[in-house]
Structure 1
Amino acid sequence: MSSLRAKIQDVFNEPACEKNRGRDAKSRKEGCSKPLTPGAAAGGCAFDGAKIVLQPITDVAHLIHAPLACEGNSWDNRGAASSGPTLWRTSFTTDLTELDVVMGQGERKLFKAIREIKEAYAPPAIFVYPTCVTALIGDDIEAVCKRAAEKFSLPVVPVKAPGFVGSKNLGNKLAGEALLDHVIGTVEPDDAGPYDINILGEFNLSGEFWLVKPLLDRLGIRVRACIPGDARYFDIACAHRARAAMMVCSTALINLARKMEQRWEIPFFEGSFYGITDTSEALRQISQLLVKKGADPEILGRTEALIEEEEAIAWKKLAAYGPRLEGKRVLLNTGGVKSWSVVHALMEIGIEIVGTSVKKSTVEDKERIKQILKDDNHMFEQMAPRELYAMLSEHKADIMLSGGRTQFIALKAKTPWLDINQERQHPYAGYDGMVELVRQIDLAIHNPIWCQVREPAPWDCQPAVREELPRTKSETATLHVVQEFAGTTTDDFGEC
């Protein structure tokens, strides 16, 4: 437990974090994120964050040393995609019971589970995740993993991120520490070249990275490791021989990028593959870093030629949507890199941004938003559901882009909604991804269903009363009784 405490303090003291650098020594030890309230894990715990980062490594067996519910609540929590192995889609857990805890059988059960996975699936590695229960009862995960690795001649990696130590974001960083301590640098590749790069913080949601990788392939740039999206254990183990790196989501793995630069002199920059301009700029910066590390400068010319060609194709496709979307207002309720990269992407085609959330954004992310929007009036740290509903019901936005948790607010306000977070079904990265994003926004805004749901319901329309024939005294008395019961008079009846 003392080693875990030291690791957490090291992660909190992150020199590459602008927010952290501005604090004094005492404040820095308190951590980058707001501590969890006991019993309230909404938004994810540290275990959940570690699982998010490591589960997309597709050929590895991910074993949860915990009661069954811990695995059930964290499995498949991101829509990452794999181009090959499917082992990561299989759930493994030691399924501890009360009897195991009382009798001290946790470590024995963990060792047995590792052996069964090795014999049944023969994975290249097994990642073991302790959770709150197994960390509190004191199971020595590291010792069991070390013994199992020696016994079975198989890398068994302890991921020390039990849920109670902090937030999901802290778990992201602890997962990066596990890769640094036990995986990266453990294998020496025999094919290292001057055009090898790493992509960090890219999760390949809905296969997004597959829209970007062909562009790099055309430039002769090889992705040595994409961490974690569609990754393989061997590729990550060899990641220390890349010449440059691109950081896609700094809130998750900034510590991994910084320490790889310190240990293996791999320079990195933070960029985005959302939007035409940002995709082009990312390709330029990758090429420039490779040239600084010894690659042939001719790659710069080939990069500019590729950018010119791809931008022309993308803008030609987007031209059809310009008249339909120009002046449309978008509300972004997301965070992290998307809080500024998607803003920039949408503004390129004439869409107005009425607001963007910065709850999960870094200081650098917020500065980028200010530069793009020219002010910070459209930035909000957090907006309560009631405020979101009021904004949408008053038609201050034509569509909301957010995650699944707020979609029902938009639907209740009878406003189009599009999923921009990890549950999305469409890839939005790269040039083709930008076209797809605009296409989905156009489909959502101009869907004819919105004209129908905004019409008054038939039962809210009172039909006009037409006296074509004289009423009898009985009919008139009955009508007055009905009107009195309904709280109306004859003057209230009319067209809706």
Structure 2
Amino acid sequence: MEAAVSNGRLEVSCGNKIPKSTPCPRPVPGEASGGCSFDGAQITLIPIADAAHLVHGPIACLGNSWESRGSLSSGPELSAYGFTTDLGEQDIIFGGEQKLHESIRYIVSRFAPPAVFVYTTCVTALTGEDIEGVCKAESERLGTPIIPVNSPGFVGSKNLGTRLAGDVLFQQVIGSTEPEQTTSHDVNLIGEYNIAGEMWHIERLMQQTGMSILSRITGDGRFCEVGWAHRAKVNMVVCSRALLGLAVQMERKYGIPYFEGSFYGAKETSYSLRQMAYLTGDREVERRVDKLAAREEMRLSLELEPYRKQLKGKRAVLYTGGVKSWSVITALQELGIKVVGVGTNKSTAEDVSRIAARIGDDAEYIPEGGARQILKTVRSRKADMVIAGGRNMYMAIKEQVPFVDINQERHKAYAGYDGLLSLAKQLVHTLQHPVWELTAKLAPWEEETEFAD
């Protein structure tokens, strides 16, 4: 494996199989496969549970991703409301700014949220709606922050929308409030969306070591706590591709050190906790983390033993993106599973280098192609299962390949020590499901034909 820097970009080669990757792909007109920029902005901001989220556009834009993610809240659920201006044909022709004014006023008077995020859509961007002007006027009128999110779908990919949402938080939210108290062990989690409640398990682990989460950006987040994120001592970037820029900007402006980490797998979880403790500069916290990691890894090793026996030697194709493209590999390897194919279409150069460090050239790299290429890899590499996002589930079902959903639509938590145990149970359950034995049998009419012959 070789690595080189070209034009400020890391390029990794391992044989001739690893494709070059850039931090964010250039927009292709009309392409929204895997989610558009508007979708990415919503994914990032909607987990701020006490804020209102208003989509300025046709109602179909709201329905595009509403309640399609498994991000959970421990309290307010205002973000679960589907607010939209529901623009129709007449609004598009004559303008919908008045409707936006009225919608904002209704939301503030009816729900009294700490803030309202207003999302531009393709339609309102193309018709030239002055969303920033409306938001500024209503903020002054109502005394409530009304924040425009200028990320219409046509400008690019979902990852670009996530990055733009991070810029909105940095420019208009972070630094706007102050916490009642701070400690020397306060950490921000950036890009952690509390899918299926994963962050709650991580938070419990941190509390056992004396560390605490100051701001959740943005899973199970609150508007005020995002506002005081500038008072943290450490930033951990969980989803590195899209929100790394936010951590970089916070380091430049507020001097907060950051690192990229993951909570998938015992080794990655232990590393992330140790890195947090190290950056706080408290050696007592580091000792607590070491004790916690040793205890949890020992417990987990015993509980995983029966599942490892059943999973050892199994072959998997992993097709996901960002941090999961490499961190889930570590988790699977800890369970004895061999990754024979991995998707890199949503991975940065750094992500690809981490993939290479874990599997080298002993796997097929899938830069593009979706279901077609996944199926080709499954067949050529004789994979036992596919671990990917929900959009590839139907391909797996049709081809009778065991499938496990790993993306944000899932409802099972796989992060942390307990998450690895949950993943092992899910993998064993999927592989041993009786449906695979049934599908391998001939249909009754096929049996009759065979007997007649």
Query: Which bracket does the TM-score occupy, shorter chain normalised?
Result: over 0.9
Equivalent position of 1:76 in the other structure: 67
CA distance in 1, matches of 2:143, 2:217: 24
In the superposition, the TM-score normalised over structure 2's length comes to 0.93
Q: Contact conserved, 2:366 with 2:373, CA < 8 A, in 1?
A: no
Q: Measure, in 2, the Cα distance between the counterparts of 1:133 and 1:173.
A: 21
Which residue of structure 2 aligns with residue 396 of structure 1?
382
1:318 to 278, 293, 304: 304
Amino acid across the alignment from 1:308: A
Question: Structure 2, unaligned stretches of length 5 or more?
Answer: 11-21
**Which residue of 2 is the match for residue 147 of structure 1?**
137
Q: Does 1:411 align with 2:402?
A: no
Return closer, same or farther for 1:133/1:113 CA change in 2, 3 Å cut-off.
same
How many residues get paired?
438
Identity of aligned residues (%): 46
2:293 match: 307
Matched, 1:56 2:58: no
The answer on 1:67 being equivalent to 2:58 is yes
Distance 2:63 2:428 in 1: 37
Cα distance in 2, alignment partners of residues 49 and 66 from structure 1: 16
Q: Is the 8 A contact 1:287 1:299 kept in 2?
A: yes
Residue 194 of structure 2 is aligned to residue 200 of structure 1: no
Secondary structure (helix, strand or coil) at the match of 1:186 reads coil
Deviations along 1:68-103, one digit per CA (max 9) or x if unpaired, are: 221121312321111111101101111122222333
> Partner letter of residue 35 of structure 1?
P
Q: Which moved more, 1:417-426 or 1:278-287?
A: 417-426
Structure-2 residue corresponding to 1:462:
448
Q: Which has the larger radius of gyration?
A: 1
* Correspondent of 1:241 among 227, 231, 240: 231
Please state how far the C-alpha of 1:351 moved relative to its aligned partner.
1.1
Which residues of structure 1 form unaligned runs of 5+? 1-17, 24-29, 466-492
Matches within 5 A, 1:14-163: 21-22=8-9, 32-38=24-30, 40-104=31-95, 106-163=96-153
Distance 1:346 1:97 in 2: 49
Alpha-carbon spacing, 1:182–1:305, altered in 2? closer, same or farther (3 Å): same
Match in the other structure for 1:12 = none
CA distance in 2, matches of 1:140, 1:441: 50
Query: Residues 171-320 of structure 1 correspond to what in structure 2 (within 5 A)?
Result: 171-291=161-281, 296-320=282-306
How far apart are 1:132 and its partner, in Å?
Answer: 1.6
**Is the 2:340–2:381 Cα contact (8 Å) retained in structure 1?**
no
TM-superposed deviation, 1:391: 4.4
Task: Identify which range, 133-142 or 259-268, moves more after superposition.
Answer: 133-142
Post-superposition CA distance 1:91-143 (Å, at most 9, x none):
11111222223333x22211111110011001111001111221222222112
Distance in 2 separating the partners of 1:32 and 1:178: 18
> 1:248, 1:464 → 2: CA distance?
55
- The answer to whether the Cα contact below 8 Å between 1:393 and 1:413 also exists between their aligned partners in 2 is no
Cα pair distance change 1:20/1:282, threshold 3 Å:
farther
CA RMSD of aligned residues (A): 1.9
User: How many angstroms does 1:462 deviate by?
Assistant: 3.5
| Pair 1:350–1:158, CA change in 2 (3 A) | same
What letter matches 1:64 in structure 2? V
Equivalent position amino acid for 1:94 in 2: T
| Partner SS for 2:273 | helix
Aligned residue for 2:44, secondary structure, equals helix
Q: Separation in 2 of the partners of 1:350 and 1:44?
A: 33
Q: Say which of 355, 359, 362 aligns to 2:348.
A: 362
Structure 2 distance, partners of 1:376, 1:254, is 29
| CA–CA separation in structure 2 for the residues paired with 1:264 and 1:20 | 28
Higher relative contact order (CA 8 A, sep 6+): 2
Question: Which residue number corresponds to residue 9 of structure 1?
Answer: none
Whether the 8 Å contact between 2:54 and 2:84 is mirrored in structure 1 is: yes
Letter in structure 1 aligned against 2:189: I
